[in-house]
Structure 1
Amino acid sequence: MSETKAIELICFPGAPSLPIFAAQEKGFFEKAGVAVNLSTTPNSAYQAENLINGTFQIAGTAFDNVVAYQEDAGVYKPESTPDLFAFMGASQVQLALVTAPDVKTFDDLKGKSLALDALSTGFAFVLYEMLARAGLKSDDYEMVTVGATPQRWESVREGKTAGTLTIQPFTAMAQSQGFNVLQTSTDLFDCYQGGSFAASRAWAADNADTVKGYIRGYLDGLDWVFDPENQDEAIEILLRNMPAIKPAVAGGVLKNLLNPRSGLTPKGAILPDGVDTVLDLRSRYGDGPKLTDHARYIDLSYYNQVI
């Protein structure tokens, strides 16, 4: 029997990790020959630094983060250009602009502070696009760097900031407590490559079987989550792994997660049109050149060998 390969995985906290939870609990990773230890990241800079330095081998991250660090546009500044790439998709991710109970329109945001993970991430660019389309200018509001979704939601809940972008389950949690959703990314874009799985090209080349084992285990977990017969147990797994979710909203969180427009992408595909959206936003809101080359950030060879 071949040796089980250990993987240190770092993801943002959120419901899109459900297939990972399922793969761990149902033994799909073990069956695929890998042992996955999942950690959550407090922010994108911490995740990038520790993926690049090898503390973690795989990251579940916004696809734009891969683009940002390959373009030397990330918050963390490594000594040399990293060799990160996305090897599988994860989700479109419905980003919701959650605001304080008294902020009911975009105009109500004027003079207020908004919480972000960092000022130059892909999700920040989605927020800039929302605000621009609503007619707000950059001097109408202040952006504040706070961290990942749990910290940002807490900042809004405590009244320190007036709004932020959230993913599930934090969107449902906010709505259940009387906070508003002014708009979502699915209102703006037909397709958006939100989540992806990324690694170092050099590490992947030296550990191809480990990468493919991860892909195989994740896809088995994803198929299990999408199976209608497993919905009740999927909710139990979600609640067990994310105790902050209240049972009353768990069904709605799962429904959103199983909608490919707002949640998990069937078969873990990377969506070319969604990649175009990410590159267009970074080209317009970032300081760099116009970006169009998918192959600069993506290599699906490992994925294609599995499916």
Structure 2
Amino acid sequence: MTTPVSNRPLRVGVFTTSSVLAAAEGLGLFAQNGIEVDVEEVKGSGQQMKGLREGTLHVVHTSPDNVMKARLDDGDDVFVFFVQDTGLPQLLVGRAGVDTWGKVQGGRIGVDDPKSGFAFVVYEMLKGNGVSVEGCDVVSVGTSRQRLDALIAGDIEVGLLSAAMSARISEAGLTVLAGAADAVPWYPGVAAATSRAVADSRPDDIGAYTRSLHDAMKWASDSANTEVFRAHVADYLDITSDEAARIIDREARARTSTLPDAVASAEAVAKVADMRAAHTGQTVEGAFDARWVLALAP
């Protein structure tokens, strides 16, 4: 029996619970590695960073750019410690009638925060398809669900939505213009971040969490485990087997690579930093710590 590395649960804040996180719990990997994990779905990156700052969250799954913004704007000593995969399960969607890039030009672009996170990804997608961001009206529209509502209401022309909303996108008669994974295939998908305070006080917990996700990703990538994987996701999320299969398939289709090593992870985070610099003129350092990924090496 594994000796617990901590007698305190590790509180993890996510936007949505990934299939691999569900598999790690279902396989008992957290327990095997000596930790207990409490997962909380949060409404936005601001809540995540506030949680890390105040100690109500110990780990978050977030965009590396949210980490960079917190470092620059709030002076938070937060950083990414694990990149599980690359490829974003995000879709750039047009409201009813906006079904070509030409119809996007000059319209309202809905993003979480115009100067952070996936907004820069949206700008790259628009630019790559001949749309001038400067000629559009970029507006802040909260969460992915709120952007979906704004698209349905016709309040914005384009918004970046989670691929988990594919069914609702189709039902509402909206148009998927492009997938983020095609535009920025190197962008980290699931990136786990923490604060320096947690890393210094609970380094073994962070190591146990890293190994658990790493091993769950390896296991989930083996086609021989497909049926059991589906069952774990269905059980953890309290959904049907068919719904679990759709989640697993959607996440798999968005991935461009899995389990990048320390060098590849550092390069991916550095590219996010370069994107931020290109759009804001801000440079940031220290947003990735390879210590726990390096410890995975045999």
- 5+ residue gaps, structure 2: none
- CA gap 1:98/1:63 in 2 versus in 1, 3 angstroms: same
- Distance in 1 separating the partners of 2:227 and 2:170: 23
User: How far is the alpha carbon of 1:210 from its aligned partner?
Assistant: 0.7
The one-letter code of the counterpart of 2:135 is: D
> Identity over aligned residues, as a percent?
24
2:290 aligned residue? 300
> Post-superposition shift, 1:231?
2.1
Deviation readout 1:279-300 (Å, 9 max, x if unpaired) = 22101112424x5x5xx11111
**What's the secondary structure of 1:299's corresponding residue?**
coil
Residues 1:68 and 2:69 aligned together = yes
SS in 2 for 1:191: coil
> TM-score scaled to structure 2, two decimals?
0.85
Query: How far off is 1:127 after superposition?
Result: 0.7
Q: Is the 8 A contact 1:12 1:40 kept in 2?
A: yes
Please name the residue that 2:101 is paired with: 106
Q: What is the Cα-based RMSD across aligned positions, in Å?
A: 2.8
Checking the alignment, whether the CA contact within 8 Å between 1:172 and 1:253 is kept in structure 2 is no
Does the aligned pair in 2 maintain the 1:90–1:264 contact within 8 Å? no
Q: Does the aligned pair in 1 maintain the 2:112–2:140 contact within 8 Å?
A: yes
Query: Is this contact kept in 1: 2:185–2:256, CA < 8 A?
Result: no
What is the CA-CA distance between 1:6 and the residue it aligns to? Answer: 1.0
Residue 266 (str. 1) matches residue 258 (str. 2) = yes
Given the superposition, is the C-alpha separation of residues 177 and 253 from structure 1 closer, same or farther in structure 2, using an over 3 Å criterion? farther
Please tell me whether the aligned partners of residues 85 and 259 of structure 2 are also in contact (alpha carbons under 8 angstroms): no
Structure 1 stretches lacking a partner, 5+ long: 73-77
Structure 1 residue 240, shift from structure 2 partner: 5.1
Aligned to 1:182: 177
Q: Distance in 1 between matches of 2:173 and 2:62?
A: 29
2:60 aligns with: 59
Q: Does the Cα contact within 8 Å between 1:235 and 1:254 map onto a contact in 2? A: yes
Q: Does residue 89 of structure 2 align to residue 88 of structure 1?
A: no
Deviation at 1:241, TM superposition (A): 5.2
In structure 2, what is the Cα distance between the partners aligned to 1:113 and 1:194?
26
CA distance in 2, matches of 1:245, 1:95: 23
Aligned to 1:31: 32
The aligned counterpart of 1:6 is 9
Contact 1:169 1:245 in 2 (8 A): no
What is the TM-score of this pair, normalised by structure 1? 0.83
Matches within 5 A, 1:147-166: 147-166=142-161
In 2 relative to 1, CA 212–284 (structure 1 residues): closer, same or farther, beyond 3 Å? same
Q: Structure 1 residue aligned with 2:193, among 181, 193, 198? A: 198
Q: Which amino acid aligns with 2:13?
A: I
Q: CA deviation at 1:95?
A: 2.9
The question of whether the paired residues in 2 share the 8 Å contact of 1:98 and 1:181 is answered with yes
Give the SS at the match of 2:131.
Answer: coil
**Aligned-residue offset at 1:39:** 0.8
Q: 1:8 to 1:264 in 2, by over 3 A?
A: farther
Q: Which amino acid aligns with 2:33?
A: A
In structure 2, relative to structure 1, the CA distance for the partners of 1:4 and 1:19 (3 Å cut) is farther
2:271 to 261, 269, 277: 277
Distance 1:241-1:141 versus aligned 2 partners, 3 A rule? farther
Distance in 2 between the 1:242 and 1:119 partners?
32
Separation in 1 of the partners of 2:117 and 2:240?
26
Task: Measure, in 2, the Cα distance between the counterparts of 1:151 and 1:51.
Answer: 24
Query: Structure 1 residues 169-178 or 157-166, which shifts more?
Result: 169-178
Task: Quote how far apart the aligned CAs of 1:142 are.
Answer: 2.3
Rounded to whole Å, the distance in 2 between the matches of 1:264 and 1:25 is: 25
Can you list the C-alpha shifts for 1:39-67, whole angstroms capped at 9, x where unaligned?
11211111111111111010111011112
- Is 1:220 the counterpart of 2:215? The answer is yes
Q: Distance in 2 between matches of 1:273 and 1:119?
A: 24
User: Which amino acid is 2:157 matched to?
Assistant: A
Residue aligning to 1:75: none
Q: Cα 1:183–1:174, aligned 2, differ >3 Å: closer, same or farther?
A: same
CA change 1:226–1:5 in 2 (3 A) is farther
- Distance in 2, Cα, partners of 1:205 & 1:130: 38
